[in-house]
Amino acid sequence: MPRARTINQDDWQTAADQQQGSGCLSLYSLPIFAVALITCLLTALSFNAPIPTSAQSANTTTSSTSLSPIFTREVQHWANDIVRWATAASVDPNLAAVVMQIESCGDPRATSSAGAMGLFQVMPFHFYFGENPYNPETNALRGLGYLSRSLQTSQGDARLALAGYNGGIGVIARGEWTWSAQTKRYVLYGAPMYEDARAGLAQSTYVQDWYAKYGVSLCNQAARRLGISP
């Protein structure tokens, strides 16, 4: 079972905290540099201009109002809740479902050896004092809140956001060769699962392959917990 966010907490904010300067001259520079200053400012504005729709990455998230049928029955059990939770967090419900599928297969009491808990396998230090990590509402609030921040850091790239959710947001700014084997595997299955959901497929070979290799016992445990008949 993938175990999300086991790296040092301080590393999570690396990508968000690293603010690169634009290289522009100070406003207090001598007049002789005025032309260069104006040119630099115009260049910086052009870099921040919106990317045309035709040039957007295929991995960019798109909003949906219902859950894809590709997910297992244990995740489908939470379909209405996933849509509600994801909408509140400004996350595509199908991306949220991908995370739940891999993390817990819908088992609200799932616990990893690293200490991650609940439906979205949230680490303990994400919760406020007195919160119940296994409460689905609380777990979704904290887990999808982190996924939302990961999406913001990745500028909407779902593939990188999944890597950030598993390995810590700091990995988004680093080369993929530095990612752990677990994070690479997480993305290997999670990103195409999301693409299949977006494409409107009725089934996903990636969900099926993940289930056969990693999800059987996890999903059986979830089914028992949820009272779902074999």
Measuring CA to CA, how many Å separate 42 from each of 18, 22, 37, 110?
A: 23, 11, 9, 52
Domains of the chain: 9-16+60-226 (1.10.530.10)
DSSP string covering 48-96, please? TSPPPGGGS-TTB----SS--TTS-HHHHTTHHHHHHHHHHTT--HHHH
CB 116 within 8 A of CB 165: no
How large is the average pLDDT for residues 71-95? 98
pTM of the shown model: 0.74
CA 116, 121, 125, 127 dihedral sign is: negative
pLDDT of res. 229: 82
pLDDT tens across 140-174, in order? 999 999 999 999 999 999 999 999 999 999 999 99
b/e per residue 89-119 (b: at least 16 CB within 10 A): bebbbbbbbbbbbbbbbbbbebebeeebbbb
Number of residues written out for the chain? 230
pLDDT 10s digits, 22-57: 233 222 233 333 333 333 333 333 333 333 332 334
C-alpha–C-alpha distance, residues 117 and 155, integer Å: 27
Beta bridge partners of 60: 157
Residue from 192, 205, 221, 196 nearest 104 by CA: 221
